[in-house]
Amino acid sequence: MRVTALGSGDAFCSGGRGHTCWLIDDERGTFTVDFGATALGALKRLGRDPDGIGAVHFTHLHGDHIGGWPFLLVDAVYRSRRRSPLVVSGPPGTKDRLRALWVACYAAAAERPLPFAVEVRELEPGDRVELAGRSVLAFRARHMSPPQIALSLRIGDLAFTGDAAEIAEGLCDGATLLCAECTNLGESTAEHIGWQTLRENLPAVPRVLLGHLGADARRGIAPPAGVRVCDDLDFVEL
């Protein structure tokens, strides 16, 4: 298994880094967690064909996490002429939001049916489902104001915080890798995890990758063993 940070930055692309997005290659194929506006470009820099992605799992519906969706579709429709199905998951409202993005960016294309199947599964916190051959467990992430819902995700042995003010209870139980946001050097805020708080509460996970890095976080963190501060296109093999 390989986990690659297609992007490692926050919504502002601090330090010139792309929006945080995780690309995972395993024995069942390839999937991503989130797909912000910079993700397609990162895939192309890696020489990867976006058609190889079999599933996209959105943690929440902020633009730096979903903004790449219309570009993934337009590449599939007009460049590669994709025919393989795509599985998508996200919190409630995902289907309508993705449709709205497609219409807003490419209205004429959106008038026609896609030439490949897209299955969108909306998840509530506590849901456990099988998607694209993998077990996906959704946790509530403390990040957005009701009625909006943000998720942390457990996909197989991998844990993903998404954007969250804290690590959800149970998210990391038995996990081999945690992909965690770390937006600032100080304490966590009401919406985002800070390094000071995370360092004092690191879960018992063999490896931790830090993303969603703000302006000061990338250069200011001295990570302990097992923790890696990611830059764009960094990867680990498990």
Using DSSP bridges, classify how beta strands 128-131 and 118-122 pair: parallel, antiparallel or unpaired. unpaired
CA 91, 23, 25, 75 torsion-angle sign:
positive
Categorize the per-residue pLDDT at 215 as very low, low, confident or very high, splitting at 50, 70 and 90: confident
The answer to whether 211 and 64 are in contact (CB under 8 A) is: no
Q: Which residues contact 192 (CB under 8 A, 6 or more apart)?
A: 143, 163, 164, 165, 181, 183, 184, 212
Q: Are 11 and 162 in contact (CB under 8 A)?
A: no
Is the pLDDT confidence value at 218 over 80? no
Q: Is the pLDDT of residue 220 over 90?
A: no
Question: How many Å apart are CA 229 and CA 9, to the nearest integer?
Answer: 11
Asked if residue 51 has pLDDT above 90, the reply is yes
Fold (topology level) of 2-237: Metallo-beta-lactamase; Chain A (3.60.15)
> What is the pLDDT averaged over residues 99-118?
98
The answer on pLDDT for 169 being more than 80 is yes
Segment 132-154 shows an average pLDDT of 97
Tabulate helix, strand, coil % of the chain (nearest 5).
25, 30, 45
Q: What are the residue boundaries of the structural domains of the chain, listed by start?
A: 2-237
Name the DSSP letter for residue 50. G
Sheet order of strands, 227-229 included: 128-131, 134-141, 150-155, 158-160, 177-181, 207-211, 227-229
Percent of the chain with pLDDT over 90: 96
What confidence score (pLDDT) does residue 43 get? 98
Q: What is the mean pLDDT of the chain?
A: 96
